[in-house]
Every structure is written in C-alpha cells, then in structure tokens.
Amino acid sequence: MSKKLDMEILASLCKRRGFIFQSSELYGGINGFWDYGPLGCELKRNIKDAWWKAVVRTREDVVGLEATIIMHPSIWKASGHADGFADPMVDCKDCRKRFRADQLCEDQGLELIKNGAAFALPEGAVCPACGSKNLTEPRSFNLMFKTFVGPVEDESNAAWLRPETAQAIFAQFNNIFATARQKIPFGVAQMGKSFRNEINPRNYTFRSREFEQMELEFFIRPDEAIELICGKVTTLADNPDLAGEPQESWGWEVWHRYWVEQRLSWYRAIGLPAGDLEQYWQVGDELAHYARACVDIEYAFPFGVQELEGIAARSDFDLTQHQKHSGKQMDVFDETLKQAAGKLDDAARGAFSQRVVADWTGRGKPEEEARAFVAKLFDGKYVPHVIEPSAGTDRLALALLCNAYDEETLTDDKGKTDMRTVMRFHPSIAPIKLGVFPLVKNKPELYAKAREIFARLQRRWNCFWDESGAIGRRYRRMDEAGTPWCATVDFQTLEDGTVTLRDRDSMQQVRLTVLELIDKLDSEIG
C-alpha cells in the first residue's frame, strides 16, 4: 500500500464497489455513521470470524459472551463512564462550530494545557473552520448517548447506549465463572456495537459514533497469589522472549507482554505488514490511574499513525469497582492458593504480610487494605486482575482497505499500457474468495457445468458468479473486489474436468481439477 494513498480515492472505490456507504445518504447523510455494503459486510464478518477463531475457538482458556447494548445505569456509574467519560470541547463564537480541544491543538502543533481535571487552550489556537481566535474555554462533553427505558422520559428511566463492550464482561463475571468450568487464568471475549457521541468524527470511518469492538478480558491471579503458590513470580527479566507455553508462575508483566505479542502476530497473519505496525507504550500521565501498563498497537494510515488496539494491564480495578457499587462479592476461591497458604508457618506468614504491606503502602495504598487483601489470600480468595486487549473492528477494516489498495500499470504484448486497480486482501479476510465464470453463456452444456461447479464451491466459501462481459473485464471487477482467485469453466473442462484458475496478484493461470482447486484454496485460506 502506498503511503500516498488519497483517502478520497479509497472512499470512491469503497462506494463504487459496495464496501462502505454514507449512512442515510438518501437524506443527505448523518455525520459519524457508516453502512457496510455487500462487500464491506463480508469483509467485517471475515475480520470478526478470524478474531473469534484466534481468540476463542482455538484456545481452551477463553469463552465468549454476547451482552445487551443497554445495561443498568449503575454499571456506568461503577466504571466511571457516567461521571468521567468525557472529551474537552471548544466552540467557535464566530462560526459556531464545535471541535475537540485536544484534536484542534494537535492539528495546529500545539499542546492542550491540563490543570487537574480542567483544560485550557494555549496561545495561538484558532478555529479550524474560519481562523477565528474567538474560542470558548474547553469544557467536558460526555460521550455517551443517552436514552430512556420505558414510556416515561424522566431521569429515573434514563439509560445509556454502551460506549464499550468490556463492562458487561465484568458485570457478568460471577455468572460466567460459575458456569464456564474455567479456572484462573482464563478469558472472556465479546464482539459488538458500541456508541460514542464524538465531537468531531473524522478520517472516514476511523473515528465514528457507532462502531464495533472486539474485546478480551483475560483474568489472572494477582502476583501475590502467584508468589504464594509458586514461590516466585516470573517476570520479563526471567523470560524476556516468552519462550514456551504460559506458565503458572507468570506475573502480570509477562501476561501483558504475551498478549501484546499474540495480537501483533494475529495482525500479521491477516495481512498487515509488520513494518506498518508500531507499538506505543503509554507512560506517566498517559496511563489511567489504575493501569500498570498499556500499549497501543498502531497502524500507519495515510492520514498518520493511529491506534488499532489498546492492550492494558488493568489490575483488579474493574471488578473491585463493581464489587463496591453493587455490594456483591467479585472474588474467587482458588483451592491451589488455599493449599499453598496452608503450608506456611506463622513466621513465613508474617514475613509475607510485611512484604505485601510495604509494597502496597509504597504505591500509595492504605495499610488496612493491604492487610485485608493478605487475609483473604490466606483463605484462598482474591479479586482477579485483568489484561485487556481491545480492538476496533471498523478501524481494522479501514486499515485492511488501505493496505490492500494498489494501482498497477500493465503493458501488453503490443506495448499498450493499462492501469489495474486491485485490492490485495489476505485470502482469509477477502470478502469473496473465488469468482466462477463460464467462458460463454450461450452453450448450455458448458453453462450447466459451470453452474454445477459454482454450486459445489459456494457451499465451502463465499463465491461470486459472473457471466457478463469479456473474461478480462470480469477479472478486473474481481480485482477491485479483492477476490484472490477466479476459475473459468471452458470447453476443456467438458473434456477433462479441469478449470483455469487465475491468481489475483500474479495474474498467472494454471489448470486444476476441482478437487485440486479445493485443496489449494483450503491451504491458502486456512
């Protein structure tokens, strides 16, 4: 993919070929909302299927959840979204347009001034629309969409569309743990719609108001429990290359790095080049107050390097918050921990308690909380910590579209040049896997054979039937759709059962039997 790709060119192709349409275009559109057409919805489905297969189906330690979009309002109080999920916004007093203060400053090479929970604009900030300096001071704008449950629209019936899928996993943790027959460490995955009332949606589908997420909450023992069970906690210094399978002695630091590597490996597996992926490790004030570490996996979009996925070590913050607000216990009983603690004599218990208290108070936590935590550990109980890989489906779809887009100049035997537009999707996420063409449509026997082959292949993959126009034109249409292969049924097919298989990227053609074609596609698609 050329980094000089013009997003308007990509958007034009996406509309022309049925990847992405502006929502409500018939009525002038609505900003920040997008519809996925016939090819786009297949692309997104393939992305989600690939993610689910990698994160859930091929692992024994992850289960799934599908929760509602609207949940009890207290969930968002507990998570902090109701009071603190906000962006700073500014209004231009002259043209009356509204902008996110941090984005406005970033675009103008300035730095937004932060003073506690408040913000201020630096000198030199101007309205991006009209150039005026007559801007309001930044003020918080809650990003959640508000709605009402039931027939009466008053505050007692107020609710929100979820701004993320993760909180449902935490709210349902007790039920999942009781029914999934899993032990810590294990994960819960969820995909689904989320909604954020972005002040300034931009960069095509990258920042939208309605979008899909693919999130995993991977629950682990606190390091203190691991120390009691294993005698030591494995850190990155002990295992910097993450050699071998996950071990019981892994601490949060190793688990976090493990999931960073797992996610990077998956992005490469679905076709994003390693050279276009970057890691940004948050530091200092960038980290949430409860996070021990957070890394953003970023992709080099034509409009700049931007986040695809965040992978955070969130400690026990989320479950503890829901325990506090709901009054329900969110801890788990760990028989292995109980047995390990039971083997300690009084002196060992005392020494362990002192180390934990010193560590906690050194990180600014109250001594009484540390002692209560240790007492629970000795009883075999703790609130699990969590590693959270959180990816945006729509952002990833856009990255794959950008990465796939290519223009190629072809020269035929007579020296005539032609421009070919091709979407070079990895076969696993390509919307259409195979185009099937009859060489001609006016020969009943050949046509019937082509339909027979198409019906057989369509049961395995999403295939596309095309009988209209010259073969070359049909190939070009499939190139723009990103279809990896095209199979042409011709007169030789009637003689020996072989078809002509044309490769999208090399444009090379080979003759294969249908069984050979099936074996090839099975191997390539995975």
pLDDT digits (tens, 9 = 90+) for 427-456: 999 999 999 999 999 999 999 999 999 999
pLDDT at res. 98: 82
Count of CB atoms within 10 A of residue 117's CB? Answer: 8
Asked if 42 contacts 167 with a C-beta cutoff of 8 angstroms, the reply is no
Between the CA atoms of 390, 391, 394 and 396, what dihedral angle is there, to the nearest 10 degrees?
170
Axis crossing angle, helix 7-16 with helix 393-404, rounded to the nearest 10: 100
Tokens 């709901």 identify what position?
326
Q: What is the DSSP letter of 460?
A: T
One-letter amino acid of 477: R
pLDDT at 68: 97
Q: What's the confidence (pLDDT) of residue 290?
A: 84
Is the pLDDT assigned to residue 13 strictly greater than 90? yes
pLDDT of residue 87: 76
pLDDT of residue 285: 80
Instruction: Kindly list the distances between the CA atom of residue 298 and the CA atoms of 276, 310, 394, 402, 497, in Å, as whole numbers in the listed order.
Output: 8, 9, 14, 14, 47
Strand bridging mode 186-195 / 62-64: parallel
With cut-offs at 50, 70 and 90, classify the pLDDT of residue 253.
very high
For the chain, how many residues are written?
Answer: 526
pLDDT at 3 over 70: no
Q: What is the pLDDT of residues 67-84, one digit of tens each?
A: 999 999 999 999 988 776
Residue 170's pLDDT is 97
Q: Tokens 């796939």 map to which residue?
A: 404
| pLDDT at residue 124 greater than cutoff 60 | yes
The pLDDT value given to residue 38: 98
Write down the pLDDT at residue 443. Answer: 95
**Mean pLDDT, range 286-312, rounded to an integer:** 93
Residues 6+ apart with CB under 8 A from 438: 446, 447, 449, 450, 451, 467, 488, 489
400 falls in which pLDDT band (50, 70, 90)? very high
Sheet strands (E) in 221-317: 277-281, 293-301, 304-313
Q: Please state the separation of Cα 224 from the chain's center in Å.
A: 31
From 443, 429, 412, 411, select the one nearest 482 (Cα to Cα): 429
Report the SS3 class of residue 349.
Answer: helix
Count other Cβ atoms within 10 Å, centred on residue 84.
10
Q: Report strand pairing: 417-423 vs 405-411.
A: antiparallel
Which residue's structure tokens are 């099936």?
518
Burial class (CB in 10 A: 0-12, 13-18, 19+), 164: buried
**Average pLDDT value over all residues in the chain:** 94
pTM confidence score: 0.90
The pLDDT value given to residue 202: 87
Please write the tens of the pLDDT for every residue from 488-510: 999 999 999 999 999 999 999 99
**pLDDT, position 238:** 87
Contact 437, 489 (CB under 8 A): yes
- Mean pLDDT, range 120-138, rounded to an integer: 91
Cis peptide before 444 (omega within 30 of 0): no
Q: What does the pLDDT average to over 254-264?
A: 96
Taking residues 86-91, what's their average pLDDT? 82
Percent pLDDT > 70 in the chain is: 98
Residue 518 in this model has a pLDDT that exceeds 90: yes
pLDDT tens figures, 90-123: 889 999 888 888 889 988 999 888 876 678 899 8
The pairing of beta strand 509-513 with beta strand 498-503 = antiparallel
Percent of the chain with pLDDT over 90: 82
pLDDT of residue 100: 83
Residue type, 410: L
The pLDDT tens digits of the residues spanning 188-232 come to 999 999 999 988 888 999 999 999 999 999 999 999 999 999 999
Nearest to 265 by CA among 526, 54, 43, 46: 54
> Which of 117-126, 165-174, 467-476, 487-496 shows the lowest per-residue confidence on average (mean pLDDT)?
117-126
Is there a contact between 140 and 148 (Cβ–Cβ < 8 Å)?
Answer: no
Q: What pLDDT, on a 0 to 100 scale, did the predictor assign at position 479?
A: 97
> What integer is the mean pLDDT of 223-245?
91
Query: Higher pLDDT residue, 116 or 32?
Result: 32
For 450, counting Cβ atoms within 10 Å of its Cβ (0-12 exposed, 13-18 middle, 19+ buried), the class is buried
Res 141 pLDDT > 90: no
Q: What is the pLDDT of residue 84?
A: 65
Residue with tokens 């606190």: 222
Average pLDDT (150-160) is: 90
Residue 2 scores a pLDDT above 50: no
**Which ranges of 21-90 would DSSP assign to H, the alpha helix?**
38-52, 73-79, 81-84
pLDDT greater than 80 at residue 347: yes
Handedness of CA 197, 202, 208, 213 (dihedral sign): negative
Query: Phi/psi of residue 27, each to 5°?
Result: -110, 25
Least confident of 57-71, 407-421, 445-459: 407-421
Grouping H, G, I as helix, E, B as strand and the rest as coil, residue 491 is: helix
Average pLDDT for 122-145: 89
- The answer, yes or no, to whether residue 1 has pLDDT greater than 60, is no
pLDDT (0 to 100) of residue 117 = 66
